A and B are shown apart, each in its own frame.
Chain A
Amino acid sequence: MATIVELPIQSFEGIVDPDWCPGCGDFGVLKSVKMGASKAGVLPKDLVVVSGIGCSSNLPGYVHAYGVHSLHGRSVAVATGIKLANTSLKVVITGGDGDGYGIGIGHFIHAMRRNLDLTYIVMDNQIYGLTTGQASPTTMKDARTKSTPQGNVEMPLNPLALALVSGATYIARGYSGEPNHLADLIAGGIQHKGFALIDVFSPCVTYNKLNTYAYFKKRVYKLEDEKGYDSSNAKTAMDKANEWGDRIPLGVVFKDLQPTYEDSVAAFKNGPLVGQSMTMDKGVFQTLIDENM
Chain B
Amino acid sequence: MKDVTVGIGGAAGDGIDKSGDTLAKACSRSGLHAYAFNSYQSVIRGGHIWLRLRVGQEKVYSQGDHLNALIALNQDSIERHAPEVESGGAILFNADKLRLNIPIRDNVLTVPLPIGQLTKPFGAVAPVMQNTVALGALVFLLGLEFEVTASVLGDTFKHKGQAIIDQNVGVAKAGYEYAREHFVPLGYTWSFSRKRRPFLTGNEAISIGAVAAGCRFYSAYPMTPASGILTWMADHAERCGVVVKQMEDELAVANVAIGAGFAGARAMCATSGGGFALMTEAIGMAGMIEAPVVFVEVQRGGPSTGIPTKTEQADLNQVYGASQGDFPRVIIAPTSTKDCFDSAVEAFNLADKYQLPVIIISDLQLSEHPETVEPEFFPAKVPIDRGELVSEWNGANGKFHRFAFTKSGVSPRALPGTANTLFVAATDDHDEDGILISDVFCNAAVRRKVNEKRMKKMDLALRDLPAPKLEGPADAEVTLIGWGSSEGVIREAAEQLNASGVRANRIQFKYLLPFHSREAIEILKHCKRTICIEMNSTGQFARHLRAETGHTVNDHILKYDGEPFEPGGIAAQVRAILKGEPRSLDVSEAEAREIGYHYVRVYLGEDVRPGRIAKADGNGLGEAVWQIEMVHRDNGEKRGELRVGVETGSTYSWEPTN
Q: Give chain A's interface residues, CB within 8 Å of chain B.
A: 15-16, 19, 44-46, 48-50, 53, 58, 60-61, 64-71, 73-74, 77-86, 88-89, 106-107, 109-110, 265-268, 270, 273-274, 276, 278-280, 282, 284-290, 292-293
CB distance B417 to A68 under 8 Å? no
CB distance A67 to B198 under 8 Å? no
CB distance A274 to B415 under 8 Å? yes
Alpha-carbon distance between A21 and B561 when the two chains are bound, in angstroms:
58
CB distance B247 to A77 under 8 Å? yes
CB distance A84 to B256 under 8 Å? yes
- Tell whether B531 is near chain A: CB-to-CB under 8 Å: no
Contact of B285 among A60, A70, A79, A85 (CB under 8 A): A70
CB distance B238 to A266 under 8 Å? yes
* 13 A/B residue pairs, CB under 8 Å, sorted by A: A45-B418, A49-B424, A71-B285, A77-B252, A77-B256, A81-B263, A81-B267, A82-B263, A85-B243, A85-B259, A106-B251, A109-B248, A293-B375
Closest to B281 in A: A71
CB distance B204 to A292 under 8 Å? yes
Contact of B422 among A65, A83, A273 (CB under 8 A): A65
B339-380 contact mask (Cβ, 8 Å, vs A): 1 or 0: 000000000000000000000000000000000000100101
Alpha-carbon distance between A215 and B378 when the two chains are bound, in angstroms:
67
- Tell whether B282 is near chain A: CB-to-CB under 8 Å: yes
Contacts of A49 in B (CB 8 A): 424
Select the stretch in B182-190, B210-218, B502-510 that faces chain A. B210-218
Quick one: which of B193-236 are within 8 Å of A by CB?
196-200, 204, 208, 211-214, 216-217, 219, 236
Q: How far is the CB of A86 from chain B (nearest CB, A)?
A: 5
CB distance A69 to B264 under 8 Å? no
Contacts of A61 in B (CB 8 A): 424, 426, 434-436
B249-268 contact mask (Cβ, 8 Å, vs A): 1 or 0: 10110011111111111110
Contact of B247 among A69, A89, A110 (CB under 8 A): A110
Contacts of B197 in A (CB 8 A): 293
CB distance A106 to B249 under 8 Å? yes
- Tell whether B66 is near chain A: CB-to-CB under 8 Å: no
CB distance B435 to A15 under 8 Å? yes
Q: How far is the CB of A261 from chain B (nearest CB, A)?
A: 9
CB distance A81 to B258 under 8 Å? yes
Closest to A58 in B: B436
CB distance A81 to B257 under 8 Å? yes
CB distance A48 to B416 under 8 Å? yes
Known: A80-B259, A270-B241, A293-B29. A69 touches B265 (CB 8 A): no
CB distance A282 to B380 under 8 Å? yes
Contacts of B213 in A (CB 8 A): 278
Alpha-carbon distance between A61 and B429 when the two chains are bound, in angstroms:
13
Contacts of A83 in B (CB 8 A): 259
Alpha-carbon distance between A71 and B289 when the two chains are bound, in angstroms:
11
13 other contacts beyond A86-B415, A279-B384, with CB at 8 A cut-off? Answer: A48-B416, A70-B289, A81-B261, A81-B263, A82-B262, A85-B259, A85-B261, A85-B262, A85-B263, A89-B417, A106-B249, A267-B242, A288-B378
Alpha-carbon distance between A48 and B260 when the two chains are bound, in angstroms:
12
- Tell whether B497 is near chain A: CB-to-CB under 8 Å: no
Alpha-carbon distance between A18 and B51 when the two chains are bound, in angstroms:
63
Alpha-carbon distance between A274 and B264 when the two chains are bound, in angstroms:
6
Alpha-carbon distance between A285 and B241 when the two chains are bound, in angstroms:
12
CB distance A107 to B248 under 8 Å? yes
Quick one: which of B376-394 are within 8 Å of A by CB?
378, 380-381, 384, 386
Q: How far is the CB of B622 from chain A (nearest CB, A)?
A: 51
Closest to B416 in A: A66
Contact of B196 among A60, A77, A287, A293 (CB under 8 A): A293
Contacts of B25 in A (CB 8 A): 293
Alpha-carbon distance between A50 and B262 when the two chains are bound, in angstroms:
12
CB distance A81 to B415 under 8 Å? no
- Tell whether B439 is near chain A: CB-to-CB under 8 Å: yes
Contacts of A88 in B (CB 8 A): 417
Greatest chain A CB density within 10 A among B211, B249, B251, B265 is at: B265
Contacts of B198 in A (CB 8 A): 289-290, 292-293
Q: How far is the CB of A117 from chain B (nearest CB, A)?
A: 14
Contacts of A85 in B (CB 8 A): 216-217, 243, 259-265, 267
CB distance B255 to A74 under 8 Å? yes
Contacts of B245 in A (CB 8 A): 80, 84
CB distance B240 to A280 under 8 Å? yes
Alpha-carbon distance between A77 and B204 when the two chains are bound, in angstroms:
27
User: What are the 7 closest A-B residue pairs judged by CB atoms, nearest first?
Assistant: A81-B259, A278-B214, A67-B424, A77-B255, A85-B263, A292-B198, A85-B265
Alpha-carbon distance between A67 and B141 when the two chains are bound, in angstroms:
67
CB distance A82 to B426 under 8 Å? no
Alpha-carbon distance between A110 and B221 when the two chains are bound, in angstroms:
13
CB distance B417 to A274 under 8 Å? yes
Known: A68-B262, A267-B242, A267-B243. A278 touches B419 (CB 8 A): no
- Tell whether B68 is near chain A: CB-to-CB under 8 Å: no
Alpha-carbon distance between A85 and B197 when the two chains are bound, in angstroms:
35
CB distance A86 to B426 under 8 Å? no
Alpha-carbon distance between A287 and B197 when the two chains are bound, in angstroms:
13
CB distance B424 to A68 under 8 Å? yes
CB distance B249 to A81 under 8 Å? no
Alpha-carbon distance between A278 and B241 when the two chains are bound, in angstroms:
10
Greatest chain A CB density within 10 A among B238, B255, B264, B381 is at: B255
Closest to A69 in B: B426
Q: How far is the CB of B337 from chain A (nearest CB, A)?
A: 11
- Tell whether B272 is near chain A: CB-to-CB under 8 Å: no
Contact of A284 among B214, B217, B240, B256 (CB under 8 A): B240
- Tell whether B74 is near chain A: CB-to-CB under 8 Å: no
B413-434 contact mask (Cβ, 8 Å, vs A): 1 or 0: 0011111101111111000011
Contacts of A286 in B (CB 8 A): 380
Closest to A49 in B: B424
Alpha-carbon distance between A280 and B215 when the two chains are bound, in angstroms:
10
CB distance B211 to A279 under 8 Å? no
Contacts of A69 in B (CB 8 A): 424-428, 436
Q: How far is the CB of A99 from chain B (nearest CB, A)?
A: 13
Contacts of A268 in B (CB 8 A): 243
Q: How far is the CB of A192 from chain B (nearest CB, A)?
A: 20
Alpha-carbon distance between A45 and B392 when the two chains are bound, in angstroms:
12
Contact of A82 among B208, B236, B252, B416 (CB under 8 A): B416
Known: A85-B267, A284-B240. A67 touches B258 (CB 8 A): no
- Tell whether B335 is near chain A: CB-to-CB under 8 Å: no
CB distance A289 to B252 under 8 Å? no
Contact of B252 among A106, A274, A292 (CB under 8 A): A106
Contacts of B264 in A (CB 8 A): 85-86, 273-274
Contact of B237 among A79, A266, A284, A293 (CB under 8 A): A266
CB distance A293 to B28 under 8 Å? yes
- Tell whether B239 is near chain A: CB-to-CB under 8 Å: yes
Q: How far is the CB of B237 from chain A (nearest CB, A)?
A: 7
Contact of B259 among A65, A79, A290 (CB under 8 A): A79
Alpha-carbon distance between A289 and B337 when the two chains are bound, in angstroms:
13
CB distance A292 to B200 under 8 Å? yes
Alpha-carbon distance between A15 and B427 when the two chains are bound, in angstroms:
18
Alpha-carbon distance between A86 and B208 when the two chains are bound, in angstroms:
23
